Copies of this chain bind each other. A is one copy, B any other.
């Protein structure tokens, strides 16, 4: 049981210098095929499977690992098809580079302090438009190249964004045209503190999620004092709960805008529970254009965002950063997609 073989061991056995052995493993054209062969055989005999990635990382100054910071706990974040699709797009681009995606979950992931001990070439703030995040500050201090998806907006950090505001404006306008006047919104969390309920000015001001805020403000551009109910997380049950609250109030809205398709699905359930016909009694709309096969045959009216493309754009930004370039900010347009859940306001 000898010591584990190293590149030098192998080189010695092959009768070449470590430099040559290294070149051989790297597949450099400058080394003769016969030599490569000899090195590989020596490696085989010694049970050497190739250069140690950590040592190579040190020398190269690159680890081949890119972090994806997920705000929430994995379990909740991945219930969200949008998050998953985004990450899929991200891996698509990074995978080609031979780079791995390291998941950094807000909860259950490495504690912020530990985060600095991980060998990251770059990090993407993925599902969190979170402003003033300790993880963000830590990585900045470490000079880890960063990409922000939907925020935070910080100078020097390339941003990949969508037209949250504009999209919601269009959606709201659509409902207005349909004759709706009593419209309410179910929002995603403004902060991750488990709070639910009506959103007042204070709460809005202290919110840290840009997308949540933007979508709310967009709707209010059309319906000036549209009431909003905040959920504690972006999930169906939360949507149902918030929907139920809105529907049981005195002035029942004729339309509910949910800030995500997942929340909208919950609102639909709340409506069904109350025996309300959609869109006869109540119109419901979402946001994201998520792929929710179980919703069929209902087609949710929603605002479609290019989720996977967002991930790919983030991936490309990472690639650019690693190449020493300064990637431009990107803002993707969104498109209103009317479905079967919105209709004329009841008389």
Contact = CB atoms under 8 A, between A and B. Distances in A.
B95 A84 contact: no
A7 B114 CA distance: 18
Contact of A110 (B88, B95, B114, B265): B95
Most buried by B among A49, A61, A81, A99: A49
B99 A110 contact: yes
Contact of A79 (B81, B91, B102, B142): B81
- Please report whether the interface of chain A is mostly helix, strand, loop or mixed according to DSSP: mixed
Contact of A296 (B57, B119, B269, B293): B269
A124 B295 CA distance: 34
Interface in A34-62: 49-50, 53-58, 61
A129 to B, nearest CB: 21
A32 interface: no
B65 A143 contact: no
Contacts of A53: 63, 116-120
B102 A103 contact: yes
Interface in A215-237: 235-237
Given A54-B119, A293-B237, A95 B100 contact: no
A95 B111 contact: yes
A117 to B, nearest CB: 5
Contact of A103 (B100, B111, B235, B236): B100
Interface in A61-97: 61, 63-65, 67, 73-75, 78-79, 81, 84-85, 87-88, 91-92, 95
A110 B97 CA distance: 7
Most buried by B among A61, A74, A141: A74
Interface string A116-152: 1111100000000000000000100111000000000
Given A102-B100, A119-B65, A142 B49 contact: yes
B84 A75 contact: yes
Contacts of A79: 81, 84
A29 interface: no
Contact of A63 (B85, B119, B138, B265): B119
A98 interface: yes
Contacts of A107: 95
A88 B109 CA distance: 9
Interface of A: 4, 49-50, 53-58, 61, 63-65, 67, 73-75, 78-79, 81, 84-85, 87-88, 91-92, 95, 98-105, 107-111, 113-114, 116-120, 138, 141-143, 235-237, 265, 269, 292-296
12 contacts: A54-B58, A54-B63, A54-B119, A57-B57, A58-B58, A63-B63, A75-B85, A79-B81, A88-B108, A102-B102, A103-B103, A265-B294
Given A91-B105, A100-B104, 6 more contacts: A49-B143, A53-B116, A54-B63, A54-B119, A95-B109, A269-B294
